[in-house]
Amino acid sequence: MLKKLAIIFVAVFGVLLAVPTLSTRAAKYMPTWMHPISLGLDLKGGAQLLLEVDTNTMFKEKSAQLYDEVRSALINRDKGVIRFSNLQNKDGIVSLVVRESDDVSKAKGRLRSVLGNTVDISSSGKTLTLSYTDKQKEEMTADALARSIEIVRRRIDALGTKEPSIQSQGGKYILVQLPGVDNPEHIKELIGQTAKMTFHLVNENVTQEQLASDVAPAGTEFLPYMESPWSKVPVYSRIEVSGESLKDSQADFDQNNMPVVTTVFDAVGARRFAKLTTEHVNERFAIVLDGKVLSAPTIREPIPGGRGQISGGFTLQGAKDLAVLLRSGALPAPLQVIEERTVGAGLGADTIAQGKIGSAIGVIFVLLFMLLVYRGFGLVADIVLMVNLAMIIGVSALMGATLTLPGIAGIVLTLGMAVDANILPFERIRDELRSGATPLRAVDSGFNRSMKTVLDGELTNLICALILFQFGAGPIRGFAVTLSLGVITTLFTCIWLSRLLIDWYMGGKNKKIGYVRKK
């Protein structure tokens, strides 16, 4: 009895999960966690972007870091300075000339101990050349791709875009699908910004003549203002505080009711920011975002606690966008939009309408076939088939899955497998009755003897679906998800629910089974 109640409960619960999807009117009476299934880009319309991770720019920045690491390793006073000349970075290869021949092996040993196996070090006479290994470059690319996907996801989620699909493609590409988004321009601007923020002191000793000549002194850079690129600020190249130390950022208003961005640093950043503002009172410091100066305020007093405020004539939307960028973190490499596609909502609506018509016709023909061929048992199969369909939709919605055209194909295939899983025991029952078994014994034997065949078939389908999900991407995964769910719901409905309904139909008596005729 307990088993029967459990089967009924699972079936009813699965059908209820599908109610918000099947009826928008009934959805408002359901609990909030029971929501309709989300439609994919091909059904709802929206935007699709294909982004490329700019690994060339990333490798240039990495080689610049390698240049600094080589220089620091060789002039380490604690371990002894190794004299060198002509240190340069060209096309991702760092080279230098060791002045003393006896120091060549010593320099190679020190560089190897500092840099490890991430670089190739070769020598020709007194000249050393260093470059990242192919393996290290592959790891850098994979890491940049993974971090970029996570940062893009944070930025899009912060905008409130519902059900975005973000996934890697081809080693250095990111496919972004945004159902329901008609104008992707704003999102393109937001996810395309590197958002690398740094704090620098302003070099007050630079004259207007030097600024006009655009020739910066050593250790100084002339960076343009964000809002007025023709106006430049002389900032020291040294980074006082890095944006990587930011813990949070929010859009807010200052005392004059102007939009600003408030920042909160972590423990390390708070110490550095407090030191900067304590040691340089009445001096200016520049807040730099992606090589452009957001603002260059004067430090009026020390700012302990790690909390700051960025002002720069923002609009409210501009302050919100900057807060999202800083909060989600800086991209490890620039992203380039190499393909953009917009799917109109009208096209999605037409696809849904045609899909509904085609599905309805197919389901009606299947239901009629089962009813005509198997009579009362066919009615049971029809009920089980509709419960199976509802459970697939309901469980998919509960899991937060997105329904796409390949997903619909998976559902249609599942319904075909479900019909087959019903036909197998019905035909076995027919054979048992023709062999002289009583109806009750025939039903029992038919289900038991066909069980292995049904399980083998469904298990094979499940293995195929799991392989597709593991190695596929995008639409293939959507197909695999619905197919996997369909296998599980088919096993439940065709083995347990179908048997329960037939037992109720038989009522413990040897009733005549209408679709079986004697020879």
CATH number at residue 17: 1.20.1640.10
Query: Do 383 and 501 belong together in one domain?
Result: yes
Query: Do 350 and 486 belong together in one domain?
Result: yes
Q: Are strands 402-403 and 38-39 parallel, antiparallel or unpaired?
A: parallel
In a domain, 317, yes or no: no
Query: Do 382 and 453 belong together in one domain?
Result: yes
Query: Do 116 and 187 belong together in one domain?
Result: yes
- In the chain, the N- to C-terminal Cα span, in Å, equals 38
- Give the Cα separation of 250 and 324 in Å (integer): 8
The pLDDT value recorded for residue 406 is 82
Query: Do 80 and 118 belong together in one domain?
Result: yes
- Give the Cα separation of 419 and 493 in Å (integer): 11
- Give the Cα separation of 427 and 430 in Å (integer): 5
Give yes or no for a contact between 11 and 387, defined as CB atoms under 8 angstroms apart.
yes
Query: Do 360 and 499 belong together in one domain?
Result: yes
Which tens digit of pLDDT belongs to each residue from 484-502? 999 999 999 988 999 999 9
Query: Do 20 and 54 belong together in one domain?
Result: no
Query: Do 336 and 380 belong together in one domain?
Result: no
The pLDDT value recorded for residue 300 is 80
Give yes or no for a contact between 265 and 306, defined as CB atoms under 8 angstroms apart.
yes
Which tens digit of pLDDT belongs to each residue from 319-334? 887 777 777 666 778 8
Regions of the chain with pLDDT less than 70: 159-163, 182-183, 312, 328-330, 344-349, 351-352, 473-474, 514, 516-519
In a domain, 325, yes or no: no
Query: Do 483 and 375 belong together in one domain?
Result: yes
**Range of 29's domain?**
2-40+344-506
The pLDDT value recorded for residue 43 is 75
Query: Do 289 and 386 belong together in one domain?
Result: no
In a domain, 518, yes or no: no
Query: Do 224 and 305 belong together in one domain?
Result: yes
The pLDDT value recorded for residue 516 is 64
In a domain, 316, yes or no: no
The pLDDT value recorded for residue 264 is 85
Both tokens assigned to 68: 């600094």
| Number of separate domains in the chain | 3
The pLDDT value recorded for residue 468 is 87
